[in-house]
């Protein structure tokens, strides 16, 4: 071979080396060489960098294999074996971990060259990083998935500015996200929801907490629809939020169905409340008439008592219907304070005295001292009246009922146990559902099967639980109520307690648009020695109050033209200190949120009212005293 030919080959090899260096520089790759006969291995610094090793001298084929991702290791091992033994070319991609614990993709290409005839080949090869290509591919796949799903998908920067949105977003809103991004995330929300979304979104961006809320998005046609908005922070290196990923899922049909259901419930509750009012007014007339008949004809006291008991049952059924509607609508409000649970249980048993006495039951109270609960006295009495009256109802005459209360850990536990007819196993799991009743007979008739359902709801509102247990029919029943114990001392007295002693001869103004109610109530109070004047409309009541002084004004709340609350305000404004004591009389219970009437009336009594309560209120001394509107009187058994 001549000098010129050697020089030409040298230039060709030099050119090839220069081109290889340039190629490796662009690809940020590196080369390696393995001498098969001796097993010697060497590589350049770029290979060490790609594998996260400080110096190239630390690398061997075995060490390189250990640095390959475990899921790719077996494949690259078999290919290397084929290359080293049979000079089969090697070309593939593998994953390796870097110094920052990020997974990187490397492409490797290697060829076998004969070094010693009949011996193992020498291997030369190169690595190049292809992570960026995989990221692009992953992004394209993610974009394709995002464009294909029905949700509106978006990405926002760490500052909350919108950076990306899928095709569904653009199709619905008509807003495309430009590059650099210019669209504001809040622009697509309905104007009435925008401030609420803005406050929640800025709070999420500042706090780094996930966001989930319902709001209306406006379509390109200007029509708002309800969507569920969710945003999740994407945390980068160092725990810093890099961006936010969000979705908007169409829930318009669900929200509209929920709104229709709420409207239907409100209409139902209004109908039930109206029905209760319309039923309570005639029941009031019957109640007052019975009391008059007792006073005039003592010989018919037994018959009047029987009718009064049935009126009481009807009144309780109306109360149960209204209570069930309030519980279902979440409108039950508790007046909570630290109270003596023993006093609650004594009151409940006392309220059930009549049915217990009629059926000759023996009642035993076994109460530990100092049982204090944070609760509503009247509502808890209602709970245990239901339980004790149920025990009386389903226990044969001369049966035994035990009410036991004590402390277990941080709870107060009350057990109402009877030796009555028990509960069938198939009924036990449904006992607290509305309208469910045990075996009934003529002597156990009455009620709608709502008492236990209402009791359960009231107990749960107090943070407690209620359970029933029975070994089966004719084996008795035990109902257990658990309530959180209070660490406070019980308040003195009871709500509504402390009525003053009677002072006769009051001047009473009765204001009701029902002539029957004013006539019967007026006659009842006249028998007590009071002077009664009736008014059937608010205008007449204002004229009478202006021309004459009264000690008490009993005002029907629901009247045409001017309601009772407005009339009470007018009376107080016109008469000042000369205003009589005002008592609200209504077929509706006192409002759950009574701010509108609080301070206007001394008491709020619900029809059909207890005539003894009316007598006590009228006879009480004083004029114009203001007390908080009360709840309805303590309920007795059904």
Higher pLDDT, 15 or 618: 618
CB atoms within 10 A of CB 312: 20
Asked if residue 631 belongs to a domain, the reply is: no
Query: For residue range 81-117, what is the model confidence (pLDDT) as tens digits?
Result: 888 888 888 888 888 875 555 777 888 888 888 777 7
Asked if residue 153 belongs to a domain, the reply is: yes
Higher pLDDT, 206 or 328: 206
Query: What integer pLDDT is reported at residue 630 of this predicted model?
Result: 40
Residue 347 shares a structural domain with residue 479: yes
Query: What integer pLDDT is reported at residue 480 of this predicted model?
Result: 95
Residue 330 pLDDT greater than 70, yes or no:
no
Residue 446 pLDDT greater than 80, yes or no:
no
Q: Quick one: pLDDT band at residue 627, thresholds 50, 70, 90?
A: very low
Q: Which of the given ranges, 159-163, 249-253, 437-441, 628-632, has the highest pLDDT on average?
A: 249-253
Tell me what the mean pLDDT of segment 290-316 comes to: 78
Query: What integer pLDDT is reported at residue 238 of this predicted model?
Result: 64
The CATH number that applies at residue 429 is 3.30.565.10
Asked if residue 457 belongs to a domain, the reply is: yes
Residue 352 shares a structural domain with residue 469: yes
Contacts of 45 (CB under 8 A, 6+ apart): 30, 56
Residue 322 shares a structural domain with residue 343: no
Rounded Cα distance between 72 and 66, Å, is: 10
Residue 245 shares a structural domain with residue 273: no
Residue 383 pLDDT greater than 70, yes or no:
yes
Higher pLDDT, 544 or 517: 544
Ranges 160-169, 176-185, 470-479: which has the least confidence: 176-185
Asked if residue 624 belongs to a domain, the reply is: no
Query: Domain span at residue 611?
Result: 507-619
Query: For residue range 600-614, what is the model confidence (pLDDT) as tens digits?
Result: 888 888 777 667 778
Query: What integer pLDDT is reported at residue 495 of this predicted model?
Result: 47
Long-range contacts of residues 202-205, Cβ cutoff 8 Å, at least 24 apart: 202/160, 204/231, 204/233, 204/244, 205/158, 205/159, 205/160, 205/244
> Which string of DSSP letters, residue by residue, matches 467-517?
EEE-SSTTS-EEEEEEEEBP-SPPPSS-TT--PPPP----EEEEE-S-HHH
CB 297 within 8 A of CB 276: no
The CATH number that applies at residue 530 is 3.40.50.2300
Residue 435 shares a structural domain with residue 537: no
Residue 441 pLDDT greater than 70, yes or no:
no
Tell me what the mean pLDDT of segment 11-34 comes to: 65
Query: What is each CA distance from 365 to 219, 291, 348, 429, in whole angstroms?
Result: 67, 33, 11, 28
Rounded Cα distance between 581 and 501, Å, is: 16
Rounded Cα distance between 482 and 415, Å, is: 9
Of the residues 129, 153, 183, the one at which a domain ends: 129
Higher pLDDT, 213 or 309: 213
Residue 148 shares a structural domain with residue 117: no
Residue 599 pLDDT greater than 60, yes or no:
yes
Query: For residue range 233-291, what is the model confidence (pLDDT) as tens digits?
Result: 887 666 778 888 888 889 999 888 888 887 887 777 777 767 766 777 777 778 778 87
Query: What integer pLDDT is reported at residue 499 of this predicted model?
Result: 43
Asked if residue 497 belongs to a domain, the reply is: no
Residue 479 shares a structural domain with residue 354: yes
Higher pLDDT, 598 or 205: 205
Residue 524 shares a structural domain with residue 563: yes
Residue 293 pLDDT greater than 70, yes or no:
yes
Query: For residue range 344-357, what is the model confidence (pLDDT) as tens digits?
Result: 999 899 888 888 88
Residue 352 shares a structural domain with residue 375: yes
The partner residues of 464 in beta bridges, in order of sequence, read: none
| Entry pTM | 0.45
The CATH number that applies at residue 279 is 1.10.287
Q: What percent of the chain has pLDDT over 90?
A: 19
Q: Quick one: pLDDT band at residue 328, thresholds 50, 70, 90?
A: low
Asked if residue 493 belongs to a domain, the reply is: no
The CATH number that applies at residue 75 is 3.30.450.20
Residue 278 shares a structural domain with residue 403: no
Q: What percent of the chain has pLDDT over 70?
A: 76
Higher pLDDT, 638 or 175: 175
Asked if residue 290 belongs to a domain, the reply is: yes
Residue 167 shares a structural domain with residue 33: no
Number of domains observed in the structure of the chain: 5
Q: Quick one: pLDDT band at residue 448, thresholds 50, 70, 90?
A: low
Mean pLDDT of the chain: 79
Query: For residue range 56-88, what is the model confidence (pLDDT) as tens digits?
Result: 888 888 888 888 888 888 888 888 888 888 888
Asked if residue 495 belongs to a domain, the reply is: no
Query: For residue range 130-167, what is the model confidence (pLDDT) as tens digits?
Result: 776 666 555 555 565 556 567 888 888 888 788 888 88
Query: For residue range 575-597, what is the model confidence (pLDDT) as tens digits?
Result: 988 899 999 887 766 664 444 56
Residue 182 shares a structural domain with residue 321: no
């Amino acid at each position: 071979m001549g000098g010129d030919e050697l020089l030409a080959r040298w230039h060709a090899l030099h050119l090839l080396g220069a081109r290889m260096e340039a190629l490796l520089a662009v690809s940020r790759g590196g080369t390696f060489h393995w001498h098969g006969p001796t097993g010697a291995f060497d590589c350049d610094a770029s290979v060490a960098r790609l594998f996260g090793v400080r110096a190239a001298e630390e690398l061997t084929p075995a060490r390189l294999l250990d640095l390959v991702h475990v899921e790719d290791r077996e494949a690259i091992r078999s290919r290397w074996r084929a290359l080293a033994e049979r000079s089969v070319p090697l070309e593939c991609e593998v994953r390796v971990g870097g110094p920052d614990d990020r997974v990187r993709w490397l492409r490797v290409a290697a060829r076998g060259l004969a070094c010693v005839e009949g011996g193992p080949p020498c291997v030369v090869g190169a690595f190049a990083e292809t992570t960026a290509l995989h990221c692009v591919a992953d992004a394209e796949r993610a974009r394709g998935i995002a464009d294909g799903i029905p949700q509106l998908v978006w990405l926002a920067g760490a500052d909350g500015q919108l950076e990306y949105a899928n095709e569904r977003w653009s199709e619905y809103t008509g807003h495309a996200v430009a590059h650099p991004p210019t669209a504001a995330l809040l622009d697509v929300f309905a104007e009435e929801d925008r401030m609420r979304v803005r406050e929640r979104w800025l709070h999420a961006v500042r706090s780094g907490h996930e966001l989930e809320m319902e709001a209306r998005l406006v379509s390109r046609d200007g029509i708002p629809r309800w969507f569920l908005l969710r945003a999740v922070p994407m945390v980068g290196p160092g725990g810093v939020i890099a961006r936010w990923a969000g979705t908007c899922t169409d829930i318009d049909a669900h929200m509209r169905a929920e709104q229709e259901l709420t409207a239907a419930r409100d209409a139902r509750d209004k109908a039930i409340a109206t029905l209760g009012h319309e039923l309570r007014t005639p029941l009031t007339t019957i109640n007052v008439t019975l009391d008059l008949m007792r006073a005039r004809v003592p010989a018919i006291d037994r018959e009047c008592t029987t009718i009064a008991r049935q009126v009481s049952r009807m009144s309780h059924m109306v109360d149960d219907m209204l209570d069930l509607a309030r519980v279902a609508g979440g409108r039950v409000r508790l007046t909570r304070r630290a109270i003596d649970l023993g006093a609650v249980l004594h009151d409940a048993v006392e309220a059930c005295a009549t049915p217990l006495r009629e059926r000759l039951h023996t009642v035993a109270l076994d109460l530990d001292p100092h049982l204090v609960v944070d609760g509503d006295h009247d509502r808890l009495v209602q709970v245990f009246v239901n339980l004790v009256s149920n025990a009386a109802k389903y226990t044969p005459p001369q049966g035994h009922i035990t009410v036991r209360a004590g402390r277990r850990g941080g709870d107060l536990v009350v057990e109402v146990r009877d030796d009555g007819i028990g509960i069938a196993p198939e009924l036990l799991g449904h006992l607290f559902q509305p309208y469910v009743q045990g075996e009934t007979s003529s002597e156990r008739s009455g009620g709608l099967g709502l008492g236990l359902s209402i009791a359960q709801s009231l107990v749960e509102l107090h943070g407690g639980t209620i359970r029933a247990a029975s070994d089966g029919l004719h084996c008795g029943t035990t109902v257990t109520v658990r309530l959180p114990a209070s660490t406070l001392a019980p308040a003195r007295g009871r709500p509504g307690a402390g009525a003053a002693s009677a002072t006769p001869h009051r001047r009473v103004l009765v204001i009701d648009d029902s002539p029957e109610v004013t006539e019967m109530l007026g006659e009842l109070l006249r028998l007590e020695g009071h002077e009664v004047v009736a008014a059937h409309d608010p205008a007449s009541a204002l004229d009478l109050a202006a021309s004459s002084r009264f000690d008490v004004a009993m005002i029907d709340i629901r009247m045409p033209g001017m309601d009772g609350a407005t009339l009470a305000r007018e009376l107080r404004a016109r008469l000042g200190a000369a205003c009589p004591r005002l008592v609200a009389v209504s077929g509706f219970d006192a409002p759950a949120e009574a701010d509108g009437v609080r301070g206007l009336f001394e008491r709020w009594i619900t029809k059909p009212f207890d005539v003894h309560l009316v007598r006590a209120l009228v006879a009480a001394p004083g004029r114009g005293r203001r007390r908080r509107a009360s709840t309805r009187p303590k309920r007795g058994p059904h």
